[in-house]
């Protein structure tokens, strides 16, 4: 999951596919993100439902510097943007 949290306004979210690509959603009927300065968080944390209906936690695989303690910052401008990050496990 990719999360863009602006200095002012609501957070936008995107789910990555198997190639790491994502599209942000600001509201259910509004794609994208508000313009301005954002903190970006990238996480693998999730919950899965087992065959018997129980929920199990999928632990985070990325270092905290990409999510909980993120220092990733970006300026979102109007129009389409492609923003990529090279992540390392160290």
pTM: 0.84
The predicted structure's pLDDT at residue 56: 92
SS3 letters across 51-90:
CCCCEEEECCCCCHHHCCCCCEEEEECCCCCCCCCCCCCC
- Count how many Cα atoms sit within 13 Å of the Cα of residue 63 in the half-sphere of its side chain: 9
Task: Write the pLDDT tens digit of every residue in 36-73.
Answer: 999 999 998 888 899 999 999 988 989 999 999 999 99
State percent of the chain over pLDDT 70.
100
């Amino acid at each position: 999951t990719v999360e863009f949290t602006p200095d002012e306004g609501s957070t936008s979210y995107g789910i990555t596919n198997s190639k790491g690509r994502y599209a942000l959603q600001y509201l259910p009927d509004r794609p994208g993100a508000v313009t301005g300065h954002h903190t970006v968080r990238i996480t693998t944390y999730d919950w899965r439902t087992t065959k018997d209906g129980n929920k199990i936690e999928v632990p985070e695989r990325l270092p905290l510097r990409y999510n909980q303690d993120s220092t990733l910052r970006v300026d979102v401008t109007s129009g389409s943007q492609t923003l990529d990050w090279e992540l390392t496990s160290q």
